[in-house]
Structure 1
């Protein structure tokens, strides 16, 4: 299987560009740096501008041996073809104004100014999906967030570093605590999880992995009571331009989908707006669509979608 397949499909009135990259090769930052650099190369040829060059030198912690011996004798020990259940996928649009209200509400309820827009939005999604699932009150539930380690290293790694420097941070509580407390309470849990993820934590996890290496498998990493916020609305997804104008929409394929997976995109109009691609079991999606608090925060988006 190719590490980087690209397919361009010509439609009657449009062009669809599809690209897939093995996650072992790079993370979301690397993926969108590649896509944006590809676009910059195209534009520089037409306009004579320079473009950014990715940094391809491999980075390893100073106390880690770059050669890793995987403790497997047969590929069946680490290759698992995850079969996702039948899911409903829907894209929910949140305007900059709606997200600003969520952020102000979360900070006010937590008596702070430190909670970010995305932490506030993620808290809403976590609480709403947990409620839609009708999870028992004493059941543990978690919200996991993909996090870029580049800026958290000491000294920081450059954003142009091409590789995989993404990890997952997690906030966990009981369903009772999550639903009986307010939005700000949940958002603060996420804020603490992000803030505590620093250089020391990253190096400890890498050292632990090098001593006991394993291959991550989707089916074994996420439980039916978790929510995973993947990708990032900070990626410059609509800045890619190949002579046909701004993209009409950004969508993801069928890989890495499971109940509770949420993929975030910048809104097409920019300005801090966000689109969330939510994957849920059909009956849970119906319950989410009936959640007044959640749907009141959702904004009207392009009627084409």
Structure 2
């Protein structure tokens, strides 16, 4: 790029989720470009269980030391980032295929769900896992409107919950796109106020450290879907003009991590995927997968 401005930023996910982060950036860009002074104050509310015996003591564990360099590192698989662009027509065709395969369901399959299902099936196909092995598609779900009483959509904080849809390799490959998308749709629909309360109660009773899940990523049985094509990432003008592209930084570059953004064209989706190199090579040679995507 011969001219232009690259803007980078980072934030702590304990403080804010994607909804809050993009709301903050949108307000910040308005202040920078137009000197807006009457911006809305942050909407801050807490959600937790009543009757908790504070303080909650979180166990402390020793940080893991990085492995020492050795001659064996050259044999360790490497990951590569690649952006897959789904046009509005691509997504429409995938939805038609999914609904045709599973027309009996009353659940509505969203664009995010059908794109995630297409990626899940395609990645697991080349994972090297046995057909009977369970695989997981973890999707970050916004809980603001799912709690009772619901929170305002503008509520600032981290209200995202990561939960997996589960299927064996055999089910993913044999039951098709419609069945796979339906599992993700059921997962999203299951995130209710009661579900969140049960999770919180269990966490308080069995306090544990949050793990990065390295083992599952190394095994290649899990994909993680984050961000959302609903975020208005191209509406942030800091006075230099609107963005021409949005990408996730190195903090998201972990194997089988999919970061979804809206594409620059209305109704399209960009999937920034970090994949094992051999999986990526096979995907780029798969005609069925490439039928619905454009490589960026």
Unpaired stretches in structure 2, ≥5 consecutive residues: 68-75
Distance 1:64 1:32, change over 3 A: farther
Q: Which moved more, 1:80-89 or 1:60-69?
A: 80-89
Structure 1 residue 107 displacement after superposition: 1.6
Equivalent of residue 173 in structure 1, options 158, 167, 172: 167
SS of equivalent residue, structure 1 residue 93: strand
Q: How far did 1:23 drift?
A: 1.2
Preserved CA contact (<8 Å) 2:112 2:228: no
Number of residue equivalences = 284
For residue 182 of structure 1, give the secondary structure of its aligned residue in structure 2: helix
**Preserved contact between residue 33 and residue 54 of structure 1 (Cα < 8 Å):** no
Aligned partner of 1:138 in structure 2 is 132
- The reply on whether 1:185 has 2:182 as its aligned counterpart is no
> What's the TM-score, normalizing by structure 2?
0.88
Report the equivalent of 1:225: 221
Aligned pairs for 1:86-101 within 5 A: 86-101=78-93
C-alpha separation between the residues in 2 aligned to 1:242 and 1:166?
Answer: 27
Q: Which residue of 280, 288, 296 corresponds with 1:285?
A: 280
- Can you give the 5+ residue segments of structure 1 that lack an aligned partner in the other structure? 1-10
Q: Which residue of 1 aligns with 2:72?
A: none
For residue 6 of structure 2, what is the aligned residue in structure 1?
16
Question: Which of the numbers 89, 92, 95 marks the counterpart of 1:103?
Answer: 95
Pick 1 or 2: higher relative contact order, CA cutoff 8 A, min separation 6: 2
Q: Distance in 2 between matches of 1:292 and 1:225?
A: 23
Q: TM-score, length-normalised on structure 1?
A: 0.86
Spell out, residue by residue over 1:254-299, the C-alpha distance to the aligned partner (whole angstroms, 9 max, x if none): 1143221111011012x22100001111111101111111111013
Which of the numbers 242, 245, 251 marks the counterpart of 1:246? 242
Is the contact between residue 95 and residue 273 of structure 1 (CA under 8 Å) also seen in structure 2? yes
Work out which of the residue numbers 237, 261, 267 in structure 2 matches 1:265: 261
Kept after mapping to 2: 8 A contact 1:263/1:278: yes
